């Protein structure tokens, strides 16, 4: 029994030899976070890195009763931040794409993680509404959805993100290349 435990500890030390990091993409719904995160994930995997993508829509489909009040959103981001920090601890590059509208919850996640890089996907509300592929802004404007970030619930822009990506006048690939260039200069 102790031999098995020793082997597991040894394996964990090997896993931890490669440093992980957390790339936290934040911005309004429709800003391009998920699209960029998916492409970045593919790029990292193709280049032999251990990576994981945590996405707001995908996670909420598994936990549909997460809620959208400020307290519920902060709790949801806290849980996702904890998961990201555990993966990071095992040498995984975590790409997290969450609206995460409140500074306090993003700051809490920053404190949980060893190497947290906040990437603000800065897209104007007007552009996000034009892109509205899910029809969510239209529903929020018609009062069919309450607590919708940017409409009747605030989005607190990051004050000092490690990177800002302006997506409005760029292709997805141009925005992706900015992120790749940025992380190539980091330890991720």
Say how far apart CA 144 and CA 146 lie, in whole Å. 7
How high is the mean pLDDT of the chain?
87
pLDDT at 116: 96
pLDDT band at 6 (very low <50, low <70, confident <90, very high): very low
Q: What is the dihedral of CA 128, 65, 98, 79, to 10 degrees?
A: 170
100 is catalytic: yes
Q: Which domains does the chain have, with CATH numbers?
A: 17-183 (3.40.50.300)
3-state SS class at 115: coil
The reported pTM is: 0.86
Give the number of other Cβ atoms within 10 Å of residue 146's Cβ: 12
β-sheet with 93-97: strand ranges across: 51-55, 93-97, 21-26, 116-122, 163-166
In degrees and rounded to multiples of 5, residue 66 shows phi and psi of -65, -40
pLDDT band at 61 (very low <50, low <70, confident <90, very high): low
User: What average pLDDT score do residues 154-161 get?
Assistant: 96
User: What average pLDDT score do residues 27-49 get?
Assistant: 96
Active-site choice (85, 100, 105, 175): 100
Q: Is the pLDDT of residue 15 over 70?
A: no
């Amino acid at each position: 029994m102790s031999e098995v435990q020793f082997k597991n500890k040894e394996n964990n030390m090997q896993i931890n030899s490669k440093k992980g990091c957390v790339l936290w993409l934040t911005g309004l719904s429709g800003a391009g976070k998920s699209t960029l995160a998916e492409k970045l994930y593919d790029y990292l995997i193709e280049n032999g890195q251990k990576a994981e993508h945590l996405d707001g829509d995908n996670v909420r489909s598994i936990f549909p009763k997460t809620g959208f009040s400020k307290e519920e959103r902060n709790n949801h981001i806290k849980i996702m931040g904890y998961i990201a920090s555990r993966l990071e601890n095992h040498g995984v590059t975590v790409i997290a794409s969450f609206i995460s509208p409140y500074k306090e919850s993003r700051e809490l996640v920053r404190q949980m993680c060893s190497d947290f890089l906040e990437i603000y996907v800065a897209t104007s509300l007007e552009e996000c509404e034009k892109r509205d592929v899910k029809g969510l802004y239209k529903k929020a404007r018609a009062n069919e959805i309450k607590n919708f970030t940017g409409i009747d619930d605030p989005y607190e822009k990051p004050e000092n993100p490690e990177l800002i990506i302006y997506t409005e006048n760029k292709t997805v690939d141009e925005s992706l290349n900015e992120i790749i260039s940025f992380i190539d200069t980091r330890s991720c």
